[in-house]
Structure 1
Amino acid sequence: MNINKLKKAEKAFFMEYPQGFQTPEMIKMSKKHKMDKLVDFAHDSFSLSALENIDESAENMIKIVSRSSMVSLFEKPKFRDAVKSMSHDEKSLLVSALKELIHGNEETGFNQLLDILTRFKLAKWTLMTVFRCYYYPQQDLLFKPTTVKNVIAKYELEGLVYKPRPSYDFFVKYRNAINDMKKQVDDSLSPNNPAFSGFLMMTMDVDVK
């Protein structure tokens, strides 16, 4: 990790937004993402008890993908249509994977979700990470491919090579790298991990040579 570049990005961000994400302009911008509402929705919809209802849980997965400002407009209808076309057994596999991903063995759940989404040609990083992003926003984040590739390159993150097909190994390594980077800057830049990722994206063009 190139900490010098990260510090320069931090300085540039504070020059533009002196109070970090508490700057009025950033608060206004953050409201558009409805982060708090979606976190609450995820906790209500994907609790262990809620996930017992297969059909309702599958519908709630569609809702959180559809409502997320971080998932592309291209992927939202594809996910919705795929889930609606699933048989009850396939929906059961989907919800079971989510349950394992959030509440059980994370690696097992990740690979189960990857398997079912692959069948429907939806094995995308955004769809693989959106659910934990809203359930554990202080630990997880949504992986947007362009941002991920740019962060790895700009901050010289060692041992990380982005590939379009999701893998649990990369998922863990990149998440760990983001959480390590957070520790190097002021706390106001990371009210949650998606916000911190937003800071990295917004400062991508800062001259940090």
Structure 2
Amino acid sequence: MNLQKLKHAQKQFFSAYPGGFSHPDMIAIGKKHNVHKLADFCVESFAEERFNQPDELLDNWVKVVSRSSMISLFEKPKFKGFINTAMGDERKVLVDSLYEILHGKASIGFSLQCDLLKRDKLAKWTLISAVPAYYRLHDEIFMKPNTVKGIIAHFELPDLLYKPSPSWAFYQHYRAQILQMKAHIDESLKPNNPAFCGFLMMSLPNAK
């Protein structure tokens, strides 16, 4: 990573928003994204003991995607339609994949989910990363393609070649570098991973 650019981004952010994410403007933006409400919903809805209720669990998955401000309006109805039309074995694989990602072997769940969602061209970074990112706000990363590409390029993250097709290897490597970047930043800029990545996004040269 380019630590000099990261420190410069921090300085510029504090200049515009003293106090970081405790600044009134940042608090107002945060309310629009409902990160903590969705996080609380996910922690309750996708707790390990809830996986014996697959239909309710899949309905809650749709709710998270529908309510997330980080997911494209075009992807939301397509995902809902996919879940609602999934039958038998497909529903079981969806539930099993999410269980593995959250409570088992994440790499296996990631691959299962990708393989099934590819059927309707829904193996998207945003859809696959959303629930884990809300479920573990300080450990997992929401993957928004343009933001990911911008962060890699601007902060010169090494050995990362972005591809639109999700892969566990890329996610694991990108997440590790984002968490490493957090270690060099003031606490007020990293109340959770979505906020920290929002800070990085706002620091990009083409950010509006």
**TM-score, with normalisation over the residues of structure 1?**
0.97
Q: Once the 2 structures are TM-superposed, how far is the Cα of residue 25 of structure 1 from its aligned partner?
A: 1.1
User: Counterpart of 1:135?
Assistant: 135
Q: Tell me whether 1:19 sits opposite 2:19 in the alignment.
A: yes
User: Counterpart of 2:155?
Assistant: 155
Work out the CA distance in 1 between the residues paired with 2:136 and 2:62.
Answer: 18
Q: What amino acid is aligned across from residue 95 of structure 2 in structure 1?
A: V
Q: Once the 2 structures are TM-superposed, how far is the Cα of residue 89 of structure 1 from its aligned partner?
A: 2.2
User: Counterpart of 2:176?
Assistant: 176
Moved more, 114-123 or 14-23: 114-123
User: Counterpart of 2:38?
Assistant: 38
Q: Once the 2 structures are TM-superposed, how far is the Cα of residue 88 of structure 1 from its aligned partner?
A: 2.8
Work out the CA distance in 2 between the residues paired with 1:69 and 1:57.
Answer: 20
Q: Once the 2 structures are TM-superposed, how far is the Cα of residue 20 of structure 1 from its aligned partner?
A: 0.3
Q: Once the 2 structures are TM-superposed, how far is the Cα of residue 35 of structure 1 from its aligned partner?
A: 0.9
Q: Once the 2 structures are TM-superposed, how far is the Cα of residue 128 of structure 1 from its aligned partner?
A: 1.1
Q: What amino acid is aligned across from residue 4 of structure 2 in structure 1?
A: N
Work out the CA distance in 2 between the residues paired with 1:93 and 1:57.
Answer: 13
Work out the CA distance in 1 between the residues paired with 2:67 and 2:51.
Answer: 19
Work out the CA distance in 2 between the residues paired with 1:45 and 1:99.
Answer: 12
User: Counterpart of 1:53?
Assistant: 53
Q: Tell me whether 1:114 sits opposite 2:111 in the alignment.
A: no
User: Counterpart of 2:100?
Assistant: 100
SS at match of 2:139: coil
Work out the CA distance in 1 between the residues paired with 2:70 and 2:205.
Answer: 20
* 1:50-95 deviation digits (Å, cap 9, x = unpaired): 1111111111110000000000111101100111011132111101
**TM-score, with normalisation over the residues of structure 2?**
0.97
User: Counterpart of 2:123?
Assistant: 123
Work out the CA distance in 2 between the residues paired with 1:167 and 1:73.
Answer: 23
Q: What amino acid is aligned across from residue 60 of structure 1 in structure 2?
A: N
The RMSD of aligned alpha carbons is 1.2
Work out the CA distance in 2 between the residues paired with 1:64 and 1:93.
Answer: 19
User: Counterpart of 1:144?
Assistant: 144
User: Counterpart of 1:164?
Assistant: 164
* 1:84-138 deviation digits (Å, cap 9, x = unpaired): 0111321111011000100000111111111111122100000110010000110
Work out the CA distance in 2 between the residues paired with 1:28 and 1:156.
Answer: 31
Work out the CA distance in 1 between the residues paired with 2:133 and 2:103.
Answer: 14
Q: Percent of aligned positions with the same letter in both sequences?
A: 49
Work out the CA distance in 2 between the residues paired with 1:138 and 1:48.
Answer: 19
Work out the CA distance in 2 between the residues paired with 1:156 and 1:142.
Answer: 19
SS at match of 1:147: helix
* 1:134-175 deviation digits (Å, cap 9, x = unpaired): 001101121000000011000111100000000000000000
Q: What amino acid is aligned across from residue 35 of structure 1 in structure 2?
A: V
User: Counterpart of 1:76?
Assistant: 76
Question: What count of residue pairs does the alignment treat as equivalent?
Answer: 207
Work out the CA distance in 2 between the residues paired with 1:52 and 1:93.
Answer: 13
